[in-house]
Every structure is written in structure tokens, then in C-alpha cells.
Amino acid sequence: MSAPLNVLVTGPTGTTGRAVVNELLNRGHCVTGFSKHPARYGAHPRYTPVTGSQLNDVSELVKVVEGHDVVISCFAPSHDTGPATYIGLVEGAWRLKEAVKDSSNSPYLIYVGGAGSLKDPETGLTTLDQPDHLIVRYFKTGPIEHLNWLRFVVGAWPIHLYYYVRNYAHANGWFSFLPRLLTSRFENHLSHHFRQTKGMPHACRAALSFFEHDPSFKWTFLSPPWFYRDGPRTGEYGVIRDFQPCDSKGRWLGVSNGDIAVGIVDEAEKREKIHLHWSVFAKQEDAAYFYDNYKGLTLPAHV
């Protein structure tokens, strides 16, 4: 275990932030939680809640950043799509970066972005540059457990419906006609949505450009894989640079918030990935991939 660190975590009550704060406190570090409602994390003698927003003015953020050894950004305004989420994430990334650079002690910034900046191993393109390919990989063939988690996080009724009908769409028998129709309509809608709407994944991809090619301060950019969700801490994980992690069968891999927190705190202590873009993956025991049963599936060629 490294010497105790003084760490600022933005977004300490979200899926990632809460797990990161847990991991930091369990390793003996001191944590400042910074968000609109940081006290929702709970009470701990080494946890200090500070109310504010990553969208505050840079001069105000500098005051919050000062005195910390590490800053971990787990900021996410919402899972909604549209300009408000896009602008919030992009502005939040830029303002925090500037605050860290302007602070007197220059803490190490670990920025947790999104999967939108990861490249597909098959094509070398970011997944958002090939929306039809993304639909197949993420919705058609991903673990049903992930889709179950996603429908409660997002809360949109079309995802609830898709969750129930997807596994029946390729069953034998006349009753599969309606599930096939519903899933096809939903997938077409999603493809159009990813082309026309700029939301969280697009903003996280844009945020990476603020850090790339800027060696003037110490930063690292972590993109969780597409199949990232709530789950237990095993303490075992793998690391890959720039690309969406896959297994030997070509299936996209994921990670739990418990294990991604281990990777984040390990980096806070060791500082081995300065100025790198990377992802974390781990074995998810409950992941039953629909990919193996999707008969006749062909992945769309990118244009």
C-alpha cells in the first residue's frame, strides 16, 4: 500500500464515483467528494463532502483542487442524450483540466471518460463512427445481464421492451414474427439516433481531444468498456490501450464498477499510465452472451 494520498473525487455518489471512494477509503486514503450532493455518499472520518459542480468557473474549481495529490473525475451530468448532456460533459472536462493546470501543486488528473473514444479492433474506427456495427455489438449480441442493468439505469420504456423481446426474435415458430418486427424497429431507431444525436458517448470522445498531445501536466484518460455496469469487486483486471477489449471469440468484454475502481486507485498510487488512453476489463461470471446463439449473424461492414 502506498503512503496515504489526499484525493479529490468529482461525482462521488455515481456508479463509478461511489466505488472509487470506497476503494480509496479502504486503502487508507483521504477523500474529498465534490458534487451537488456529496453528502449522499455517507459519513466517514476520512471523507469530506464539498458541494459544487464541475461546471463551476475555473477560478472556483482551482480552490477545490488545491492541496490534493490526485484528482479523479467521475463526473457525469446524466445518461440523457441531447445538447445539454453533451455540453455539460465537454465543458466539465475542459474546466477541470484548466483548474488542475492552474493549481499551485499540479495534482495528477485521472479522467474517467466513456466508451465512445475506444476503437473497434476489427475496423480501427471508434465505435461511434460505425453506428450499425455498434448496434449489433452492444444491443443484439451483448450479455442479457447488461441489457437488464441498462434498462433500469436509463429508464426508457423502449429498452425495457427490447429486453423482453430480444431473446425471442430468433426463435423458431410463427410467434417470433412480432419480436423480430419490434427488435428491427428498435435497432433502426437506435442507428438513426446515434447518427443524429450527440449525447454522453460523443461528449466523452470529444473530451479525450482536450488531453491528447498536451504533455504540460500529468493526466491519464480511462475509458470504461461498453459492457460496464454495477458489479462486485474481484480485484483482478486487465488493461488495454485505445481499443475496446475483446476475448478470443471476438466478443466485447466488460468490467464491474468494483473492479474498475481497483484499476483507478492502483493508477492513483502507481502513476504508470501518465499521458495514456486506456481501458480496463475483467471476467464477468454472469455474462451470457447472445452472440453465441445469434444464428446467421453477419456484422455490417463499415462505410
Q: How many CA within 13 A on the CB side of residue 131?
A: 14
Mean pLDDT for the stretch of residues 23-32? 98
CATH of the domain at 48: 3.40.50.720
Same domain for 137 and 115: no
Provide mean pLDDT across the span 40-44: 95
Residue 209 and residue 105 in one domain: yes
**Are 95 and 149 within one domain?**
no
- Are both 212 and 84 inside the same structural domain? yes
More confident residue, 96 or 156: 96
Residue type, 70: V
Predicted pLDDT at 300: 37
Q: What is the pLDDT of residue 163?
A: 78
Residues 246 and 212 in one domain: yes
**Which residue range(s) make up the domain with 135?**
127-196+288-293
* Average model confidence (pLDDT) across the chain: 84
Q: 114 and 210 share a domain?
A: yes
Question: What pLDDT digit, counting tens, does each position of 53-95 carry?
Answer: 877 899 999 999 999 999 999 987 665 666 777 888 889 999 9
Residue 175's pLDDT is: 64
* Burial class of residue 74, CB neighbours in 10 A (0-12, 13-18, 19+): buried
- Asked if 134 and 263 sit in the same domain, the reply is no
67: in domain: yes
**Residue 303 lies inside a defined structural domain of this protein:** no
Answer yes or no: are the C-beta atoms of 89 and 200 closer than 8 Å.
Answer: yes
> pLDDT exceeding 90 applies to what percent of the chain?
48
47 with 116, same domain? yes
Same domain, 164 and 31: no
Judge whether 63 lies within some domain: yes
Each residue's pLDDT tens digit, 211-257: 998 999 999 999 999 889 888 899 999 999 999 998 877 778 899 99
Considering the domain boundaries, does residue 39 fall inside one?
A: yes
Same domain for 217 and 277? yes
Residue 90 lies in a domain: yes
On whether residue 52 sits in a domain, the answer given is yes
Residue 241 contacts residue 276 (beta carbons within 8 Å): yes
| Separation between Cα atoms, residue 171 and residue 58, nearest integer Å | 55
pLDDT for the residue numbered 296 = 40
* Domains in the chain, number: 2
Q: What are phi and psi of 92, to 5 degrees?
A: -65, -40
| Residue of 281, 287, 277, 285 whose CA lies nearest to 237 | 281
Phi then psi for residue 286, to 5 deg, are -90, 0
Mean pLDDT over 267-271 rounds to: 98
H/E stretch holding 238 reads: strand 238-241
- Cβ contacts of residue 266 below 8 Å, gap of 6+? none
Q: What is the model's pTM? A: 0.87
